[in-house]
């Protein structure tokens, strides 16, 4: 008697891995969102890592790199706070996210070489919040 191997994908999912959800990650400055499936128990850091890899694999511009520590994941509906890297993606309760580069810090020093003040270097005026609000305010005219 032959026993056939079941190649069903459902049987290949490890038990207790949680529910899988389809999420959209929009990268600021990119043409459109990246869509992929993750487990609800996946951490935010894991989602950022996956999003960066898929972004590079698709050959999208601008080139972002692969360092997850340089990026933060926002949920535009839930507020303006960045998600913590150890949070699970399913705990947020939404499926649309925004991936942004972290602001770079600039340390100003005096003649002794000791830092005097720390500020945040802004590359562009407004940032992702201004871009997001601007995109919501776009109106399509009928003429």
Residues 34-60 have pLDDT tens digits of 999 999 999 999 999 999 999 999 998
Question: Is residue 73 included in any domain, yes or no?
Answer: yes
Q: Are strands 20-27 and 96-101 parallel, antiparallel or unpaired?
A: parallel
Which DSSP category does 37 fall into?
A: E
Q: Does residue 76 have a pLDDT over 80?
A: yes
Same domain for 122 and 77? no
Radius of gyration of the chain (CA): 20
Same domain for 79 and 118? no
Question: Is residue 1 included in any domain, yes or no?
Answer: no
Same domain for 53 and 72? yes
> For position 9, what pLDDT does the model report?
46
Residue 1 pLDDT grade (very low, low, confident, very high; cuts 50, 70, 90): very low
Same domain for 26 and 92? yes
- Portion of the chain with pLDDT greater than 70, in percent: 61
Same domain for 43 and 92? yes
């Amino acid at each position: 008697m032959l026993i056939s191997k079941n190649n069903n994908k459902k049987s290949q999912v490890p038990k207790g891995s949680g529910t899988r959800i389809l999420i959209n990650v929009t990268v600021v400055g990119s043409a459109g969102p990246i869509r992929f499936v993750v487990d609800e128990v996946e951490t935010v850091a894991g989602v950022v890592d996956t999003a960066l890899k898929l972004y590079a694999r698709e050959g999208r511009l601008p080139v972002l790199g692969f360092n997850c520590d340089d990026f933060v994941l926002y949920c535009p509906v839930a507020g303006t706070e960045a998600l913590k890297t150890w949070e699970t993606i399913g705990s947020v309760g939404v499926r649309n996210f925004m991936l942004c580069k972290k602001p770079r810090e600039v340390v100003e020093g005096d003649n002794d070489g000791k830092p005097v003040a720390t500020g945040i270097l802004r590359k562009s005026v407004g940032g992702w919040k201004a871009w997001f609000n601007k995109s919501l305010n776009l109106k399509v005219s009928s003429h």
